[in-house]
Chain A
C-alpha cells in the first residue's frame, strides 16, 4: 500500500513540474532546460531553512518559490529579448551553473554528500508522518499548481501567451509588451517548479545534487511532450505514464540494475516514437516538431 502511495506522491510532485513547464513550453512556446535547477533551488532553499532556522514547511516552500522566481530573472532578463533558440541555450547554461553550485558549494549544500535529516512537514500544526498524509499534501499542492496554470492559461493573459507562441510580431503590433509576458510566465513557472522541489525534499528527507541534473529537466520536458503540450490534461497524463510505466518494468522480473538502465532506453524510445507518430503528444494541441 505504501508503495502505491509512493508512486502516487511521485506523480503529484512531477505533475507540478510538468504543468509548470507546460505554461512556458506549451502555452508560451519557450522551451526551458532549467526546470531541474528550479526544482533543486526550491528543494535546497526549503531544506536548508528547515534545518538551519527551523522554519516551517509552508514558509520554506514560499521562500523557495521566491528564490526560484527571482533567479528566473537572471535567465529571462538577458535572454528573452533574443529568439527562442537562445533561450533554450541560456536555460541549459543556467541549469549547469546551478547544478555546479549544488555540487561544489560544500559549506552550504554539503556538495555530493547531500543534506540528510530534512524534517517531515508540519502544516498548521499537522505533522505529516504517514504516506497517506503526505499523499493528501502532495495532491493539494498539485491541484493548486494545476489551478494556477489553468487560471492563467484560461485568461486574457493566457491568450496573449498563445499569441506570442504563434506570432510574436503580431502580439507586438497589437501593443502587447511581449517581454513582460514572457518574463512573468517564466517566473511563475520557476516558482511552481521550486514548490515541487520543496515538497520533494520534505518527502524523501534527503537531497543531493543527483536529483537535480539536466536529466531531470529532460525528464520533465519528456512528460510534457508525451502527454501533450498546451492542453489542460496533457502534462498530468505524460507524468503518470513516465512515472508509472517504468515502475511496471520492475514486475517483468528484470533485476533492478537492468531495470534502471531499461528506464532510460524506455524514455528514449517513447520520445522518438511520439515525435514520429504523434508530435502533439497524446492529448496535446501544440506540436514541437514544426
Chain B
C-alpha cells in the first residue's frame, strides 16, 4: 500500500507560520492521530494535504505520486475523503441524499446520461442499497429519510463519516470526529474507527480529546506552532513530559 507523506511544507497567514517546514510520513495503515494545542496548524495541514489550501512551499506525496498542486476533487478521486470541523452537510436534503451525493463515479452525473437515463435508475438503486448499508453501519438507518438538518450534532458527525465511506476512499481524514459530542456517541464513533482499521482503511484524525487518542491511535503526530514536535507510538509520545507540558500549556 502507498504511504502518504509530506516534505518541508510551509504556509504563512498574515505573518504567522501556520506550517513551518512540516515533514512527516503517515503509516500506510492503521489510525494516526494529529494532536496539538489550538493554532498548532493541524487543520491547516489537513487542508494542504487535501488540496483546499496551496502551500507556500513544500510537497505532498501519495506513494511516488506528487499531489501537491492537484485540485481538491482530483485528490479526492485518488482515494481521499475528509470531514470538516464545521461538518459541512447539505442540511436541507435527506440523510440518504447526502450519502448518495458522496457515491463515486456515478454514470448519472454525466450530462447526457442524466437526460437519457441509460442504466441510471439501476445504478441509483444499487447506490441506495450501498448507502443504506453504510447508514446501518453508523447506526443512522432509521433516520435515512429525515433531513440532515434535523439530526443532533453527534448524529451529523456520524453522517459525515458515512459520507466519507460512501466515496469508497481508502484514506479518511477526519477533523475532530469526537469533540463536542455526547460521551456515549463518542465511544460509538471510536468503535467505528477501530472497525475501519480492521477493514483496511487508513484513518488520520485531528483531535483534542487526548483520551480518545490514547484509546484508538496507533501512531501520534504532535504539532505546535506550525511544527511537528514529536511523533511515534502513543504509549511513548504521550508520556513524554515536554509533550504533556506543551499540550497542556
Q: Is the CB of B114 within 8 A of A157?
A: yes
Residues from chain B with a CB closer than 8 A to the CB of A151 are 114-115, 117
Q: Is the CB of B88 within 8 A of A170?
A: yes
Interface string of A146-171 (1 = CB under 8 A from B): 00100110011111101100110111
Question: Which of A48-56, A172-180, A207-215, A218-226 interfaces with chain B?
Answer: A172-180
The reply to whether the CB of A135 lies closer than 8 angstroms to some CB of chain B is: no
Roughly how many angstroms separate A175 CA and B170 CA in the complex, as a whole number? Answer: 13
Q: Which of A129-145 contact B (CB under 8 A)?
A: none
A175 in complex: contacting residue of B76, B92, B97, B107, CB < 8 Å: B76
Given A173-B72, A174-B81, CB of A156 within 8 Å of CB of B90? no
Residues from chain A with a CB closer than 8 A to the CB of B163 are 174
Question: Which of B8-16, B30-38, B98-106, B132-140 interfaces with chain A?
Answer: B98-106
Roughly how many angstroms separate A152 CA and B109 CA in the complex, as a whole number? Answer: 9
Roughly how many angstroms separate A160 CA and B50 CA in the complex, as a whole number? Answer: 20
Q: Is the CB of A160 within 8 A of B109?
A: yes
Roughly how many angstroms separate A162 CA and B148 CA in the complex, as a whole number? Answer: 15
Residues from chain B with a CB closer than 8 A to the CB of A178 are 73
Q: Is the CB of B89 within 8 A of A155?
A: no
Roughly how many angstroms separate A188 CA and B115 CA in the complex, as a whole number? Answer: 11
Residues from chain A with a CB closer than 8 A to the CB of B77 are 175
Residues from chain B with a CB closer than 8 A to the CB of A174 are 73, 76, 81, 101-102, 163, 167
Interface string of A167-208 (1 = CB under 8 A from B): 101111111111001001000100000000000000000000
Q: Is the CB of A172 within 8 A of B111?
A: no
- For residue B160, which residue of chain A has the nearest CB? A170
Q: Is the CB of B114 within 8 A of A158?
A: yes
Residues from chain B with a CB closer than 8 A to the CB of A158 are 114
Q: Is the CB of A169 within 8 A of B88?
A: yes
Residues from chain B with a CB closer than 8 A to the CB of A155 are 108-109, 113-115, 117, 120
The reply to whether the CB of B84 lies closer than 8 angstroms to some CB of chain A is: yes
Given A156-B108, A157-B109, A167-B88, CB of A173 within 8 Å of CB of B115? no
Given A159-B97, A162-B90, A163-B90, CB of A172 within 8 Å of CB of B115? no
Q: Is the CB of A156 within 8 A of B114?
A: yes
Distance between A29 CB and nearest chain B CB, rounded to angstroms: 12
Q: Is the CB of A173 within 8 A of B84?
A: yes
Distance between A134 CB and nearest chain B CB, rounded to angstroms: 26
Distance between A120 CB and nearest chain B CB, rounded to angstroms: 30
Most buried by A among B73, B106, B108: B73
Distance between A211 CB and nearest chain B CB, rounded to angstroms: 29
Distance between B209 CB and nearest chain A CB, rounded to angstroms: 23
Residues from chain A with a CB closer than 8 A to the CB of B167 are 174-175
Given A172-B71, A177-B73, A188-B111, CB of A156 within 8 Å of CB of B88? no
The reply to whether the CB of B93 lies closer than 8 angstroms to some CB of chain A is: yes
Residues from chain A with a CB closer than 8 A to the CB of B120 are 155-156
Roughly how many angstroms separate A86 CA and B221 CA in the complex, as a whole number? Answer: 41
The reply to whether the CB of B110 lies closer than 8 angstroms to some CB of chain A is: yes
Roughly how many angstroms separate A184 CA and B111 CA in the complex, as a whole number? Answer: 7
- For residue B97, which residue of chain A has the nearest CB? A159
The reply to whether the CB of B130 lies closer than 8 angstroms to some CB of chain A is: no
Q: Is the CB of B73 within 8 A of A163?
A: no
- For residue A173, which residue of chain B has the nearest CB? B82
Distance between A154 CB and nearest chain B CB, rounded to angstroms: 9
The reply to whether the CB of B61 lies closer than 8 angstroms to some CB of chain A is: no
Q: Is the CB of A159 within 8 A of B100?
A: yes
Roughly how many angstroms separate A36 CA and B117 CA in the complex, as a whole number? Answer: 31
Given A169-B52, A172-B73, A177-B73, CB of A157 within 8 Å of CB of B111? yes
Q: Is the CB of A175 within 8 A of B124?
A: no
Distance between A85 CB and nearest chain B CB, rounded to angstroms: 21
Roughly how many angstroms separate A166 CA and B71 CA in the complex, as a whole number? Answer: 20
- For residue B169, which residue of chain A has the nearest CB? A175
Distance between B59 CB and nearest chain A CB, rounded to angstroms: 21
Given A155-B120, A157-B109, A159-B97, CB of A167 within 8 Å of CB of B90? yes
For the complex of A and B, the 8 pairs showing the least CB-CB separation, nearest first, are A156-B108, A175-B76, A157-B114, A155-B114, A172-B72, A170-B88, A156-B106, A175-B77
Mind listing 12 A-B residue pairs with CB under 8 Å? A151-B115, A155-B115, A156-B114, A157-B109, A158-B114, A159-B100, A167-B88, A169-B52, A173-B73, A174-B81, A175-B104, A177-B73
A residues with a Cβ closer than 8 A to B are 148, 151-152, 155-160, 162-163, 166-167, 169-178, 181, 184, 188
Could you list 6 further interchain pairs (A-B, Cβ under 8 angstroms) beyond the known A156-B108, A158-B114, A173-B88?
A156-B100, A166-B90, A170-B89, A173-B50, A174-B163, A184-B111
